Structure 1
Amino acid sequence: MHTHSEVRRPSGEEAVTTTMSQQVNTRLVTGRRPVRYALFRDLIGDVHRLSALPHRQLGNWSLGQIVDHLQRALLLQVESTPVAIPFWERIAARLAKRRLLSRSLKAGCLPPMALREQLAPRDGVEVAAAVRELEQAIARCRDAQSTQPHPLLGRISRAEWEQYHLRHAELHMSFLVTRRA
């Protein structure tokens, strides 16, 4: 069973102490909040709201770690990523492309092994710093002249990249729930 201690930080974020042996199986988590973002500004607004309110994490990552992970994923759109994704994973993703871009992603699905280290959030990242980096990554993606192929989906449009990022953010942000006063 997963047990944790909660501490409220000045930013409103609760630090949850877990060990590797206490990793939450996110497929089994209940009580996640429904999240749907139409635009990046919806995501940023939600991040600011959560950082100002007491909240708790139902999964393995804090708000700062989630935001750090999301900005790392955003940079895949504009930075060359020399990773070798197995053929079968690319085919499976391309067959599920419509679903990946239109519906929230399923909890518990891990990125391909080749991307895990690159996308892993930093330990102890502060929310404010992570939010600044996320905003910079969004601006960089918006202003880029061209995009890189998605590691799984291959060449996709800028609009498809944005939809992918928003669905990805919905998944992770759904594991953070506000506490009532």
Structure 2
Amino acid sequence: MNHRSLHFETLNEAMAEAERLAATDVVTTGSYSFGQILDHLGRTIRMGTGEMDPPKVPLLLKLFGPLVRGRIIKGPAKPGFKLPSVLQDYFWSKDDIPVDSAMQQLRAAHQRFASMPTLPRNPMFGALSHEQAEQLQCRHFELHLGFVNEAS
């Protein structure tokens, strides 16, 4: 598995990398297309802002999430974590998504996130400050955009 090591201090930096990649030809390693990855990142932001109703989170994750959130926020996120099927179906499209429409949705989700001084309680990690939520998103972008490479 070819995974780029990325680090973003802000969600604006992460979005700039997504925009850069969307403007060029890319290849992905792993199981998902670039459009699916962008769609996934947008879904997680929309859930985090309350724009999408959160999924039913298994009890074990509800209990475990707040205990590990500090380590996850500080990162780096490591590839290989498999979501329970109920969350997999919520966060990932089975169908390919055109990059331009996924990017448009991601931009809108980012703008909403940036405009909200407080965010709803995260269904997996509990109450997060805006800064903690942003850092969580940064780690998430690092993980998933690391599977996207410019085509050679």
TM-score of the superposed pair, with normalisation by structure 1: 0.74
| Matching residue of 1:85 | 57
Q: How many residues align?
A: 151
Q: What is the CA RMSD across the aligned residues, in angstroms?
A: 1.9
- Aligned residue for 1:24? none
Greater percentage in helix: 2
Q: Which amino acid aligns with 1:66?
A: I
Q: Which has the higher contact order (CA 8 A, sep 6+)?
A: 2
Does the CA contact (< 8 Å) of 2:25 and 2:151 recur in 1? Answer: yes
C-alpha distance in 2 between matches for 1:66 and 1:82: 19
Match of 1:98 in 2: 70
Secondary structure in structure 2 of the residue aligned to 1:177: strand
Contact 2:54 2:123 in 1 (8 A): no
Moved more, 57-66 or 81-90: 81-90
**Is there any run of 5+ residues in structure 2 with no aligned partner, and where?**
none
Runs of 4+ in 1 over 4 A off after TM superposition: none
Is the contact made by 1:105 and 1:171 (CA closer than 8 Å) also made in structure 2?
yes
Q: Does 1:166 align with 2:141?
A: no
1:72 corresponds to 2:43? yes
C-alpha distance in structure 2 between counterparts of 1:57 and 1:148, whole Å: 32
Unpaired runs of 5+ in structure 1?
Answer: 1-28
Question: Matched residues, percent identical?
Answer: 25
Give the corresponding residue for 1:114: 86
Which structure has the larger Rg over C-alpha atoms? 1
TM-score (norm 2): 0.87
